[in-house]
Structure 1
C-alpha cells in the first residue's frame, strides 16, 4: 500500500528590511521531509512590506529543487495574503515541472511590470529566443541589459554542474518606481563547488574563502588567461551596480556578498545554506547603465578607481567558524581583508559571532592596521565576548584609533 501524502507547512512572513535573507531562513532542506510529502508554503506580509522579486524567485527555485531532488512529492503555495506582481497559475510545482511539453521553459509569467521564468532544460537556442523577447518587452529596459543577464544565465549553464534531470533555474525581473529589480537563482554546486573544479590553482585557493569578493574583481581568472575568465558576469554586474548607483547581492552556500551603490560593501555568513547561487540586484532606470564601459574596465582593470566604496563591512562569521585559530584560515581571512582594503577607505571588522581568535591572527590584524594607516579600521566587539577576546579586540581598537590619529 502506497504511503499517503503528508502536508508540511512553511510559514514565511515578508519583512521590509533584509527580506531575502529572512525568507531563505525558512527554505531549509529539512531532513525530516519524505518523498511522499507535500509542502505548503504560506506567505504573509508585515505592515508596509512588499515582496520583492528575489524573494519570490528564491521560494520558487527552492521548491523546484526539492521536488526534482525527490526530497518531497510536491510543493503548493498560498499567496492569498500577499500581493504578488503576477497571477499565479494555481498549479503545484510538480504540475509545472512535469507538464507534457518539450519546451525548456517550464513556467513563464509575464505582466506589465514583472517577468518570472523557470527553465527546466539546458537549451541555449531557446534562451536566445527568450533574450530577444526580453529586449522587446519594455521600452524602458536599460540598453544592453540583456547582455548582463546573458552573462549571469550562462554562468548557471557552465558552472552549476547540474545533471540534466535536475537542471532548473529561475529568473525574475520586476519594474518598480523607476527601478528594475532582477534575480537569477540556481540550485547547483555553488561558487565554492565550481571553483574547486577550476583549472588554475588560484581559483582553488579562492574556493576556500569569500568567493564572491574575488569573483567581482577583474584580475581573477580560474581558467588561465588563454582560456578566458570565470567571473566575467559577476564583475560586470558589480561594476554596473556601482556606476548606476544600484545594488547587488550574491548568495551562495552560507556566504553573502552585498553592495549598495558606492556606499557599502558587505560580506557576512548565514547559518542557512543556499544550495546553489543566487544573484539579485537593482538598477536605477533614470541613471546611466553603460555595459560597454564595464567591459572596458574588465579588459583594462588598471583604470579602476581606488576607494570605490565608502565602507567595507566585514563580518568574520563569513567563514563559518566561531574560533579563528588555524593558520590556514587566518591567512585566508587576511588575503580577503587585503581585497577589501583595495576598495574602501573605511573597514568595519565585525566579530559578533566570534568566540576566540588565535594570537597569530591577533598579530596579523595588528600588522594589517599598521600597514593600512590610510584606512580607518573599526572593530566591533561582541557583547558576549569573554575576558580574553575582549582584551585582544580592545587592543586592536586602541591601535586603530592611534593609527588614524597619530598626534593624539
Structure 2
C-alpha cells in the first residue's frame, strides 16, 4: 500500500530524544486507512541514541495498534542503525507476524538489542531477562533487576488494554564504556497512573511534577502492604547517580533529567503519550543494586545535597500564567522537595507570561526561608515590563542568599 502521510524525523546532536518526540505528531487528520512513511536523517557528527529509535518505533506501533492509522513504513537508508531492520517489513507486518508470541520482534546485534513486547506475559519476559544476563560479559551485574523494575512498571501502570498493549525496550553499547537503555510505552503516563492510585498521596502528586516526586525514596502508588513499594524509578535514579550516569523521564508534557550528581532538571516538553525512561550506565563505574536497595530501605543515609544544581523550568506545570493559589502551593511544595536534594536552585521563568501577586509572595517567603540555598532566578529575555518588575524584587532578594 502506498504511503499517504510522511513524517521526516531529524536526529540532532544535542537534546536528541526531546527533539525527536517533538517531531512525532498525533495528527488529528489521520485516518484509519492511512499509511505513514517515516524517514530519518541525521545531523553531522550526531550519534544515534537508542531512545530516539525506540521512541519512533513505539510511536508507530501505538498508531497501528490503536487503529489510528493502518500502517507505518520506515526509511532508515540515510542513517546507520546499530541493528538490521528487516527488509520491506512494515509495523503491521511485525505486529501480526507471530500472533501468539508476546514478543513482536527482537533485533539483536553485537552492540544492540531492540525488543517490542505486545502482550503482558511475565513468563516470556523472564526468558528475555535471562537472555539479557547472558548477552555480553560487560552487562553490569544485576542490571537486569533494574530493567525488570522498569518493565514491570509498564505492565502495572501503563493501563493498556490487551488489544493495544505494546512497549519497546532498547539497549545499546554506544561505546566500550557506556550502555544506553530505554523503555517506552504509550499508556496513561505518570499522571494518569497516579490519578488511579489507591493511596491518597499518589493522587495528590498526580497534579505536580510527577517524576520529581516518584524518584524520591519510599513513594508508593498502591501501598506497601500490597507489596508495591515504588522502587522502580527511585532505584533507577539512585543507580544512575552512584554510577555517574544519566537518566531522563518523559511523560505527558513533563521531562525529568539528571546528569550524574551535577544537575537535576525538570521542564515542560512536547507531549509524549505515555512514559519513556532512558539513560546511560557507565561500565567502568560502580553499579551496586544492593546498595541502592539499602538506601531505599533506610533513606536517612541519603546525602541531602544529592545534586549540585536543581534547575526547574516553571513551564513544567503546563501553564504560562501562574495565578491560582492551588498551583502556587503545588509549585512551592515541589521547590521544597528540590531544596532537600540541592544546595543551588535555578528557577527558570522562560515560557511564563505572568505571575500573580500571591505567587510572588509565596516565592518571596520561600527565598527568605531558605537562606542557606543559593537561588538564581532566570527572567525571560522577552518578558514584558510587568513580569520583569514582578521578578526583579525576587532576583534582588535571592542575590542576598548568594552573598550571605
Contact 1:268 1:317 in 2 (8 A): yes
Aligned pairs for 1:98-247 (under 5 A) are 98-177=96-175, 178-229=177-228, 231-247=230-246
Q: 1:52 aligns with which of 46, 49, 53?
A: 49
The equivalent residue for 1:382 is 380
How far 1:227 sits from its partner (Å)?
2.2
Q: State the number of aligned residues.
A: 402
Superimposed CA distance per residue, residues 314-347 of structure 1 (whole angstroms, 9 cap, x where no aligned partner): 0000001000000001111111111111000110
SS in 2 for 1:27: coil
The equivalent residue for 2:23 is 26
Aligned pairs for 1:365-404 (under 5 A) are 365-404=363-402
Distance across 1 between alignment mates of 2:242 and 2:101: 37
How far 1:230 sits from its partner (Å)?
5.0
The equivalent residue for 1:349 is 347
Runs of 4+ displaced beyond 4 Å: none
SS in 2 for 1:176: strand
Residues 24 and 220 (structure 1), Cα distance of their counterparts in 2 relative to 1, 3 Å cut: same
Distance across 1 between alignment mates of 2:275 and 2:345: 26
SS in 1 for 2:340: helix
Gaps of 5+ in 1: none
Q: 1:336 aligns with which of 315, 334, 337?
A: 334
Aligned pairs for 1:70-89 (under 5 A) are 70-89=67-86
Aligned pairs for 1:251-330 (under 5 A) are 251-270=250-269, 272-330=270-328
Distance across 2 between alignment mates of 1:229 and 1:393: 43
Distance across 1 between alignment mates of 2:36 and 2:225: 47
How far 1:5 sits from its partner (Å)?
5.8
The equivalent residue for 1:248 is 247
How far 1:116 sits from its partner (Å)?
0.2
SS in 1 for 2:139: coil
Distance across 2 between alignment mates of 1:367 and 1:229: 37
Distance across 1 between alignment mates of 2:374 and 2:50: 36
Residues 336 and 229 (structure 1), Cα distance of their counterparts in 2 relative to 1, 3 Å cut: farther
Distance across 2 between alignment mates of 1:34 and 1:64: 15
Distance across 2 between alignment mates of 1:197 and 1:105: 28
How far 1:386 sits from its partner (Å)?
1.3
TM-score by length of 2: 0.98
Distance across 1 between alignment mates of 2:360 and 2:148: 44
Distance across 2 between alignment mates of 1:68 and 1:230: 31
SS in 2 for 1:226: helix
Distance across 1 between alignment mates of 2:386 and 2:229: 42
Distance across 1 between alignment mates of 2:224 and 2:48: 42
Gaps of 5+ in 2: none
How far 1:229 sits from its partner (Å)?
4.0
Aligned pairs for 1:60-75 (under 5 A) are 60-75=57-72
Contact 2:13 2:45 in 1 (8 A): yes
How far 1:51 sits from its partner (Å)?
1.3
Distance across 2 between alignment mates of 1:209 and 1:255: 10
Contact 1:321 1:354 in 2 (8 A): yes
Superimposed CA distance per residue, residues 200-251 of structure 1 (whole angstroms, 9 cap, x where no aligned partner): 1110000000110010001322223322445311000000000000000001
RMSD: 1.0
Distance across 1 between alignment mates of 2:266 and 2:154: 22
